[in-house]
A and B are shown apart, each in its own frame.
Chain A
Amino acid sequence: MDVLVPLPVAIPLIAAAALTATGHFLGRRADDLVALAASAATMVISLLLVFQASDHRLAYWFGGWRARHGLALGISFTVDPAAAGFAALAATLMTASLVFSWRYFDEVGTLFHVLMLVFLAGMCGFALSGDLFNMFVWFELMGAAAYALTGYRVEERGPLQGAINFAVTNTLGAYCVLIGIALFYGRTGALNLAQIGNTLAGQKPDGLVVVAFALVICGFLVKGAIVPFHFWLADAHAVAPTPVCVLFSGAMVELGLYGVARVYWTAFEGVPGAHAGGLTNLLLGLGALSAVVGGVMCFLQRHVKRLLAYSTISHAGVILIGIALLTPDGLAGSASTVIAHGLLKGGLFLCVGIVLSRLNSVDELVLHGHGQALWATGTLFTIGALGLAAPAPFGLFLGKSLLEESAAEHGYWWVAPLVTAVTIVSVAAILRVAGRVFLGLGAAEDALLSPEPDEEREVERDPERSSVLMLVPTALLILAGIGIGLVPGLEPHLQHAADVFRDRHSYVATVLQGRIEHGSVGSLELLQLPAASVAWSLVSLFGAIGLAALALCRHRLVPERARRRTHALAGGGLRVLRSVHSGVIGDYVAWLTFGVAAVGGLLAVVLR
């Protein structure tokens, strides 16, 4: 079965190369088919790997260079359920997105498929790799494909520099990672994660180790869209074609956070010792800040793709909170959130794609009431939004409850109300869009929302286009996202995956000593519904619906004076927040520098 391990990378890459070589001789549908087949094969193999790895962790040495006397000579893929699961999630979203593209683009060149496949290989490689420099290589491959895809067939004329902002900030993030790698290599003489971890374990963290770790995680946090590294995300989403946005929001951002967790638990876990609580506080702070900033900015958008992008930032913050707790339950909660959010957000973006292709706009106010004919899309969009509100036991509920419980257990009582509050705000924004576009509720003017440049369409869309091939993947993603929490045995499997993920000693034993350690999943009991979590989930569900209704009908519901009062209170803060998101790359890089310096400085304080 080990033979499967390199395939999630090899299949899409070979298919991409073959498409490039023969693209001039094949028709459009042949391209579609090859790309779809490669992506589906990757999905199936990754899923097989998840099951394979749930029994024991696999270490696969490329070139057959097994570790000698505990020293790695080559590069390994280290497959555990989390790694294979990430590859499977990326391949699933890619497959859905390619099916969707079948009818979405009027004409699409071979090169689009080629880049999509390379992008997929990059994501799979990053998830599976057990070598720090190799992670950097896949990180860059992901990036190179993503930057080009962002600039492809731009759906709006104006803000093309979003693609440049994306490329520049992420490239700088990658350089930070690389400098961190160089520092680690200078200290340990190793690039393999297990070996770095083995060498560093038990050492008192000095400047080199602290700063190297800070640089690596900051680089990954750029990809993970964590405040203050998040600016590029909304810009890139505003520009990128909708099928590409599915992968950005559903898999790529989460892979950045996965990178942080992976590097911490393999290379760095043995270092902080008693100071791990300091690291928790730092990451919790970053996660909470992202959750809040993402949620508020989300509420202020009228460009629906940007709105969903800010919602992704908010959820990325929540996922980071789960990682930051450094507990098995927190990690399992994050993993569950990643899966459910990836599927739901992917489905929501596909809904927006359908709206764009039928109604020629993604502006909430322009679209006011125009979506009433698209009842199927509207229903799916609303269901997807409600799934994000984490109603027990659907959608994000499992993840949210796991990480809230774990946080409460460790004395972070504020996590549950905070996560619930930001969920209310970001979901309310999506529901507001649903109400306005598909039901025609509220007014067609809203002074609260960020102004958007006049729209000028690239391509006139065909409102009569048959949308079955677009609706099917959308529906599948959203229903899968909603129902994921009901899968029997998911919770114990997630907890087992989290335990395996956190076990550095067994990781080292498998990678460097070649020992196979079997683990087993606990009993497959039915989903637990703890009372506190259910209560919070009801609050977030009804809070979101209520806030959306308030946003749509505040002219009728709230007296004039109260509205003006609120505006006076909050207006200044919102103005500052908006102006910080300036769309200018120089500002973003200044913030990035600030973020790296701040994270590095704080880490130095808490770890020493």
Chain B
Amino acid sequence: MSYLPYALAVWIFVVGLYGVVTSRNFVHLVVCLAVTQSSTYVLLLAIGYVDRGTAPVFADVPTGTRAVDPVVQALTLTDIVVSVTVAALLLALAIQVQRRNGTMNPDELNELRG
């Protein structure tokens, strides 16, 4: 158990990459990219986890209670915002591509060859 959450992050990262590489549709590609990024959430939170710790919110528990790391959570919050914004931008670009070229399959668009 002690290293499994880290391995999960690695799994998500590689699987997401596989999705990006093999994708035949920009919408699918964007979702796979978001999956890839979610590996970083899992990795960060898993690193900061403390056995039998509470959330780092001392509203109902006294300060000094054993709690998980707050910094990784702050980083992950930023990370989630980054993820959704990049995804939205990419989808907007994909919609433009669809309008101009009539396809969302990256493999069919190779005008930039060479």
A–B contact, 8 Å CB criterion (strictly below): yes
A interface residues (Cβ-Cβ under 8 A, vs B):
133, 137, 140, 143-144, 147-148, 151, 157-165, 167-168, 171-172, 174-175, 178-179, 181-182, 185-186, 191, 234-235, 238, 297, 300-301, 450-451, 453, 578-579, 581-586, 589-590, 593
Per-residue interface assignment for chain B, residues 70 to 114, with 1 indicating a CB less than 8 Å from any chain A CB and 0 otherwise: 011001001100100110011011101100110000110111111
Given that A164-B90, A164-B93, A182-B40 are known contacts, is A581 also in contact with B71, CB under 8 Å in the complex?
no
A172 contacts B20, CB within 8 Å?
Answer: yes
Given that A160-B100, A172-B20, A590-B21 are known contacts, is A583 also in contact with B93, CB under 8 Å in the complex?
no
Closest to A239 in B: B112
A63 nearest CB across to chain B (Å) = 13
What residues of chain B lie closer than 8 Å to A147, measured between beta carbons?
Answer: 86, 89-90, 93
Q: Which of B17, B78, B96 contacts A160 (CB 8 A)?
A: B96
B101 contacts A168, CB within 8 Å?
Answer: no
Per-residue interface assignment for chain B, residues 21 to 47, with 1 indicating a CB less than 8 Å from any chain A CB and 0 otherwise: 111001001000100110110011001
Q: Which of A133, A151, A238, A297 contacts B112 (CB 8 A)?
A: A238
**A-B contact list, 19 entries, CB within 8 Å:** A133-B75, A133-B78, A137-B78, A144-B82, A151-B96, A158-B100, A161-B106, A168-B33, A172-B17, A182-B40, A182-B47, A185-B72, A453-B111, A581-B114, A583-B110, A583-B112, A583-B113, A586-B107, A589-B17
B75 nearest CB across to chain A (Å) = 6
A158 contacts B111, CB within 8 Å?
Answer: yes
> With contacts A162-B112, A175-B37 known, what are 11 further pairs, Cβ within 8 A?
A147-B86, A158-B100, A161-B97, A164-B94, A167-B86, A185-B71, A185-B72, A185-B75, A238-B112, A450-B114, A586-B22
Interchain CA distance A396-B27 in the complex, whole Å: 44
B81 nearest CB across to chain A (Å) = 9
B28 nearest CB across to chain A (Å) = 12
Main secondary structure of the interface of B (DSSP, over half): helix
B89 contacts A167, CB within 8 Å?
Answer: yes
Q: Which 5 A-B pairs have the closest CB atoms?
A: A583-B112, A450-B114, A578-B114, A186-B47, A158-B111
Interchain CA distance A70-B12 in the complex, whole Å: 36
B17 contacts A157, CB within 8 Å?
Answer: no
B39 contacts A582, CB within 8 Å?
Answer: no
What residues of chain B lie closer than 8 Å to A140, measured between beta carbons?
Answer: 82, 86
B112 contacts A234, CB within 8 Å?
Answer: yes
What residues of chain A lie closer than 8 Å to B72, measured between beta carbons?
Answer: 182, 185
A212 nearest CB across to chain B (Å) = 11
Closest to B97 in A: A160
Q: Which of B29, B36, B111 contacts A159 (CB 8 A)?
A: B111
Closest to A191 in B: B71
What residues of chain A lie closer than 8 Å to B107, measured between beta carbons?
Answer: 584, 586
B2 nearest CB across to chain A (Å) = 13
What residues of chain A lie closer than 8 Å to B110, measured between beta carbons?
Answer: 582-584
Interchain CA distance A28-B90 in the complex, whole Å: 28
Interchain CA distance A431-B13 in the complex, whole Å: 45
Interchain CA distance A400-B23 in the complex, whole Å: 43
What residues of chain A lie closer than 8 Å to B114, measured between beta carbons?
Answer: 297, 300-301, 450-451, 578-579, 581
What residues of chain B lie closer than 8 Å to A451, measured between beta carbons?
Answer: 114
What's the tally of chain B residues with a CB closer than 8 Å to chain A?
Answer: 41
Closest to A581 in B: B114
A178 contacts B79, CB within 8 Å?
Answer: yes
Interchain CA distance A39-B101 in the complex, whole Å: 36
Interchain CA distance A159-B43 in the complex, whole Å: 36
A225 nearest CB across to chain B (Å) = 15
Q: Which of B29, B85, B97 contacts A168 (CB 8 A)?
A: B29
B109 contacts A179, CB within 8 Å?
Answer: no
Q: Which of B39, B40, B93 contacts A167 (CB 8 A)?
A: B93
B89 contacts A586, CB within 8 Å?
Answer: no
Q: Which of B36, B44, B93, B106 contacts A172 (CB 8 A)?
A: B36
A171 contacts B33, CB within 8 Å?
Answer: yes
A607 nearest CB across to chain B (Å) = 21
What residues of chain B lie closer than 8 Å to A191, measured between beta carbons?
Answer: 71
A586 contacts B21, CB within 8 Å?
Answer: yes
A600 nearest CB across to chain B (Å) = 13
Q: Which of B17, B89, B101 contacts A144 (CB 8 A)?
A: B89
Q: Which of B20, B47, B79, B89 contacts A589 (CB 8 A)?
A: B20
A161 contacts B29, CB within 8 Å?
Answer: no
Given that A171-B86, A172-B33, A175-B40 are known contacts, is A164 also in contact with B26, CB under 8 Å in the complex?
yes
B37 contacts A586, CB within 8 Å?
Answer: no
A296 nearest CB across to chain B (Å) = 12
What residues of chain B lie closer than 8 Å to A450, measured between beta carbons?
Answer: 113-114
Q: Which of B17, B37, B85, B89 contacts A593 (CB 8 A)?
A: B17
Most buried by B among A160, A181, A579, A584: A160
A144 contacts B86, CB within 8 Å?
Answer: yes
What residues of chain A lie closer than 8 Å to B47, measured between beta carbons?
Answer: 182, 185-186
Interchain CA distance A144-B86 in the complex, whole Å: 7
Interchain CA distance A168-B26 in the complex, whole Å: 10
B38 nearest CB across to chain A (Å) = 10
Closest to A174 in B: B82
Closest to A139 in B: B82
Closest to B20 in A: A589
B106 contacts A585, CB within 8 Å?
Answer: yes
B111 contacts A583, CB within 8 Å?
Answer: yes
Given that A179-B40, A582-B110, A586-B106 are known contacts, is A593 also in contact with B71, CB under 8 Å in the complex?
no
A3 nearest CB across to chain B (Å) = 27
A236 nearest CB across to chain B (Å) = 10
B36 contacts A175, CB within 8 Å?
Answer: yes
What residues of chain A lie closer than 8 Å to B93, measured between beta carbons?
Answer: 147, 151, 160, 163-164, 167
Closest to A165 in B: B112
A582 contacts B113, CB within 8 Å?
Answer: yes
Closest to B99 in A: A160
Interchain CA distance A540-B23 in the complex, whole Å: 44
What residues of chain B lie closer than 8 Å to A179, measured between beta carbons?
Answer: 13, 39-40, 43
A18 nearest CB across to chain B (Å) = 21
What residues of chain B lie closer than 8 Å to A151, measured between beta carbons?
Answer: 92-93, 96
